[in-house]
Each structure stands twice: as structure tokens, then as C-alpha cells.
Structure 1
Amino acid sequence: MEQLRQVEGPEGPIRYWLTRKRVKNLNLRLDSGGEIRVSIPWNCPPEQADRLVRDKWPWLRRGLERRQAPPPELLPELSRPDCLAQLRQSLDRVYPLTQPLGVAYPQLKIRAMRSQWGNCHWMQGYITLNTALVRCPPRLRDYVALHELVHFLHHDHGPGFYAVMDALMPQWRQLRQELKPYAALLR
């Protein structure tokens, strides 16, 4: 059963929905409608949830602001062959950065994906890029293509992965932030 709670935050009252569940940890999320939701274990005092919401208010505020911001201007949808051509151009632009590191040119596959912009199948030698990327600016496509290429060197998101990203595309963190407003394309 959900309970509507309110805590005093640094900028005034913050309302959120509290649910007790069979969970081990406190879970905080901002749902698609902009509602703040917290799940807590059965034996957890609600004051812990209040404290979590207060402590995470800067993160919550940024998420709420993103949802209220006007959506980015989208490039037009393309046919599947044109989509493949555009995404191959991105791969071609960034591949020379990884080639000296021993990355073989991968096979490129495309498909519509709901939760990710791309993925790397390093053992099979191919990457998959989300067809929705063609509606994003080319610099963001290039960032995603490079991200997947770097996974041929570092299969996880550990320090080595980020060190290579920093060396090859120092502005990648900014590009990742620019990509976030396009997340609606994933749904």
C-alpha cells in the first residue's frame, strides 16, 4: 500500500509516495509521470525514507527539470537502409581512434531498442546501434559508436574503460549529458 508523505526540503515541501515491500534496501526513483517514489523494507522506519528524499533532492530536482524541459528537436526518421548508412558513417568517423589500439573493424547491426543506445558483442565481433540514434545529432551518434568500440578493449565500465574514453574523446561526459533528453526515443 502506498502512502503519500511530505518532507521539508531545502526549497520547500517535497511530496513523495512511500511503499513498503520485500526489499533489502531503500529504493528511490522518479517515475515517468514525475512522481517521486520510495520503496523501503518492512522493518524500516519511514523517517529513513524522508532523509533519503531530502538528501537526494538535488538529483531529484535535476530529473524533474529534465522532464519539464522542452524535448530536443529530432532529426527526421529514415528508412532502414538510410539509417544503416548514417550509423555506419558514425562508426567510420570514430573507428580510426580505436584502430591503433588493436580494435578490429566490427560488423555493424542496427535495431530498435527500448533501453539502450547500443551494445557490443565483443566475442562475436559486432556492435548493435539503436535505430533511434539517427534522430539525434551526429556528434551523439559518434559518442555512442565510440563507447561501443571501447568495449572491445574493456568489456565493463571499469576505470580502464573510462580512461580510454577520456583519452579518445575528452568531451564524452558532456555528450552523454546531451544524449539524456533524447531518452524518450527509447520508449
Structure 2
Amino acid sequence: MKEYQMQLNDEIVTYQLTYKHIKNVRMRVRDGLLVISAPYGTPQKYIEMMIYTYRQRLLDQIHAYQPYFQYAENGFVLIFNQRYHLVIRDVGIKRCQFHGTDLYVYHHDIQSCVEKECQRLLREYIEERVIHYLAHDFDLDMPHIDIKKYKSRWGSCYYKEQRISFHLGLIHLDKELIDYVIVHELCHFIYHDHSALFYREIAKRLPNYQQLQRRLKGKHT
């Protein structure tokens, strides 16, 4: 992987380029940085021509990027789309405590401490909402729920194992979007693909799912 710079409109943009055994050039914005994967032998001139062609869309994604956290003294974390200021009080205990919009962290390992609290809060919320949806909208047994870190997905349904898995990063989003992901994964127990019938099942529970889907696509994992 190498980094290069080029001018797009009136600004200099840095992009990371990696050559791989793939067929086509892939462009995406990850954590506010333009990341390019290209087949071996692809000329850099061709890659930059593609970047320039899609410059406005890429710039919009770069500018729209907002971090969900900054794990440091006087940093912050978004929890259910609410910003909490981090106050570090290292007493060697891996525990966090909320005081208004402050989140006190009682350990020097800020990230693992905050993520542990985020996992607890997210699991609690998801289990509560899954129970709600099963009682009102689905004829299903309670699935096993996992909370994991994913790079490019919000959730997964393992219907043969009666299990659903959710990305820990959901904790940073508002609850309406989390509910969309929950319903999406529960509907995979009915239809295992992304067919029109599958989305019809989502629409029965969330008539505004297309609006929620568009909002979710604007978020980074």
C-alpha cells in the first residue's frame, strides 16, 4: 500500500493505493480517507482518471465523515447518537460511569473500557427490541445474539444456527437506525436473500424503511 496525492477541485486529496488480484478498480472512503484497490498492472494515470470522474461523490463522502469517538483525555464517544465527553480517572478499575453528558472512565485503557460499556448498552438495547419485535411482528423463537466488530457490515443472520450478529459500531447511531438493522436481520429468518419479497417483509414492520436505509448508507462502519 502506498499513499499519493492529487488535486480534486480546489483541494489536495490523499489516497491509499493497493494492488490486488481483482478484476476492477474499487474506490471507497474509509474513516474519511480515500482507499483504492486496483488489479495488478493498472496504470496510476487510469486510476487517477477514475478518481477525477467520480470526484464530487468522493469529496462529498470525505467531507461527510464524522468520527464516532476519540479515545483520549477530554475526548468523546457517541452513544445512541448522543455525544459524551470522556473524563479519565485512572484507579485501575475497568469501569465507566455516566454523569450527565460526561462519561467517567476509571482505567488507563480507555478504548477497551469504553467499548466494554458500549457492548453492554448495545446488547441490552438489542435484546429488548428483539423481544418486542418477536412479540408483535414475528412468529419466531428468540435467537442467540452476538455483538462483534465488523469492517463493512452492520449485522448478519445465521438462520441455520438460530443466531444473529450485530456490529458494535451500531452503538454510535440513533436508535431508529439500530431498529432498522434489527428488523432487517430478523426478516432474514423468513427470506434468506435480498429479494423483493424480503423487503416487503421489512415494509410490513417499517413502512419508512427506504428512508432509514438511505440514512444508514450515509454512515460508516
In proportion to residue count, which structure has more strand? 2
- How has the CA–CA distance of structure 1 residues 51 and 14 changed in structure 2, closer, same or farther, with 3 Å as cutoff? farther
Contact 1:113-1:130 within 8 A present in 2 as well: yes
Whichever residue aligns with residue 113 of structure 1, its letter is K
Higher RCO, 1 vs 2 (CA within 8 Å, ≥6 residues apart): 1
Q: Which residue of 1 aligns with 2:206?
A: 169
Contact 2:154-2:181 within 8 A present in 1 as well: yes
Aligned residues: 177
Q: Which residue of 1 aligns with 2:147?
A: 111
Query: What is the alpha-carbon distance in structure 1 between the residues aligned to residue 206 and residue 174 of structure 2?
Result: 16
Alpha-carbon displacement from aligned partner over 1:70-111 (angstroms, at most 9, x marks no partner) = 87842464684x654422221133335642xxx423324232
Shift of 1:156: 2.3
Q: TM-score, normalised by structure 1?
A: 0.68
Query: What is the alpha-carbon distance in structure 2 between the residues aligned to residue 17 and residue 84 of structure 1?
Result: 35
Q: Which residue of 2 aligns with 1:53?
A: 51
- How has the CA–CA distance of structure 1 residues 31 and 96 changed in structure 2, closer, same or farther, with 3 Å as cutoff? same
**Residues 1:90 and 2:129 are matched in the alignment:** yes
Contact 1:112-1:130 within 8 A present in 2 as well: yes
Superposed, 1:126-165 pairs within 5 Å as 126-130=163-167, 133-134=170-171, 136-165=173-202
Contact 1:111-1:129 within 8 A present in 2 as well: yes
Unaligned runs of 5+ in 2: 70-76, 81-97, 99-116
Whichever residue aligns with residue 74 of structure 1, its letter is I
Whichever residue aligns with residue 6 of structure 2, its letter is Q
Whichever residue aligns with residue 105 of structure 1, its letter is D
% identical equivalent positions: 23
- How has the CA–CA distance of structure 1 residues 68 and 182 changed in structure 2, closer, same or farther, with 3 Å as cutoff? closer
- How has the CA–CA distance of structure 1 residues 104 and 61 changed in structure 2, closer, same or farther, with 3 Å as cutoff? same
- How has the CA–CA distance of structure 1 residues 178 and 40 changed in structure 2, closer, same or farther, with 3 Å as cutoff? closer
* Equivalent residue for 1:36, pick from 29, 34, 37: 34
Whichever residue aligns with residue 57 of structure 1, its letter is R
Contact 1:119-1:128 within 8 A present in 2 as well: yes
Query: What is the alpha-carbon distance in structure 1 between the residues aligned to residue 205 and residue 59 of structure 2?
Result: 32
Whichever residue aligns with residue 89 of structure 1, its letter is E
Contact 1:18-1:38 within 8 A present in 2 as well: yes
Shift of 1:114: 3.1
Q: Which residue of 2 aligns with 1:6?
A: 6
DSSP 3-state at the match of 2:161? coil
DSSP 3-state at the match of 1:38? strand
Whichever residue aligns with residue 147 of structure 2, its letter is R
- How has the CA–CA distance of structure 1 residues 22 and 89 changed in structure 2, closer, same or farther, with 3 Å as cutoff? closer
CA-based RMSD: 3.6
Unaligned runs of 5+ in 1: none
